[in-house]
Amino acid sequence: MSEPEVLFDRIGHAGVMTLNRPKALNALNHGMVLAMADQLERWAGDDAVRHVIVRGAGDRAFCAGGDIRKIYDQGMAGDPTRARFFADEYRLNVRIKRFPKPYIALIDGIVMGGGVGVSVHGSHRVGTERTTFAMPETGIGFFPDVGGSWFLPRMPQETGMMAALSAGRLKQADALWTGILTHGIASTDMEALASALTETDAVDEVIAGFSRRHDAGAAPIAARAPRIAEIFGRASVAEILEALDELAGAAGDPDADWAQGLADTIRAKSPTSVMLAFQQLRRGAELDFEACMRLEYRILSHILQGADFYEGVRAVIVDKDNAPRWSPTHLADVTEADILAHFERPESGDLDV
């Protein structure tokens, strides 16, 4: 008999959730989302559970995202229920954000997409030197959901906008500097920390003690932060790319190659997704968390009716030719009306959170 895809244990003072699909990099599916939400509700009312720990099985990933291949297959089959996974996932994100006890994500390895949603909204995000964070959605014709509308625009100096448009990856030091992680530890200390957390109520003190033993080093992103803020704080994607192109052409500027690489990367993503992500983050900066999740459900409901998401998944996951044929093909061909339509209330109604 196969093991459950998410394990729940009561160990000492802690409720422990273990994402248990290591061969799939612990990618979330609908059953896992529903089980986690149900267990968190139980633990919220259980006085014996003082805090919650969430981990990923295996040594490669905390959680590499959601099971988008399943959504692709549902879309190809015309399944009208394919938005339900996202609705329940977004409700889980809200439950984590509002959880009344310490919620501690122990991140060792890849944390992307849906994995970010079940970690970044918790009170404590502890990552090792093996942490790799990214919101890679624009590369598959999607958008940075699971609360990206909330946390990305609140990262310092427009680093969240850069991460969203480019699907850029952050390692431990950068994730600490931007606030994705609250603490950094050595991977060799992860088991000892997990054990210590089950034996104490002093969560902050225990995590801080392990964190003090580890030097994550300087954050490379910090040195470029003023330039990132100046470029990615502009009023449109077109202006951002214009600024990157100008810097790329500046002979002798040490950031010229960096700017060229970013410009090329953004232009390779789904034009619709890039434009959506820009508008999403600008709007999310002014909204509370629940409003952000309703906003994302609106975008999701419309994007599942389009073509780019399925084309992106086909290119990256199904056929693996890494040659998506976006529609429209170029950023200049995406109209304002196309983007604004994604923010309209869907026929099925807004997300109930």
CB-based contacts of 50, cutoff 8 Å, min separation 6: 13, 14, 101, 102, 201
pLDDT of residue 1: 58
pLDDT of residue 2: 77
Q: Which of 56, 66, 122, 184 is catalytic?
A: 66
| Residue 66 and residue 21 in contact, taking contact as beta carbons nearer than 8 Å | no
Active site residue 321: no
Active site residue 160: no
pTM for the whole structure: 0.96
The model's pLDDT over 219-245, given as tens digits with 9 standing for 90+, comes to 999 999 999 999 999 999 999 999 999
Active site residue 75: no
CA 74 to chain centre: 22
Q: Which of 114, 117, 141, 306 is catalytic?
A: 114
Q: Which of 67, 89, 108, 145 is catalytic?
A: 145
Which CATH number characterizes residue 189's domain?
A: 3.90.226.10
Which whole-number Å values give the CA distances from 10 to 93, 190, 199, in the listed order? Answer: 22, 18, 11
Angle, CA 62 vertex, CA 219 and CA 273 arms, to 5°: 75
pLDDT of residue 80: 87
Range of the domain at 140: 1-353
CB-based contacts of 65, cutoff 8 Å, min separation 6: 25, 27, 28, 112, 113, 114, 115, 136
Active site residue 137: yes
Total count of domains within the chain: 1
Q: Which residues of the chain have pLDDT under 50?
A: none
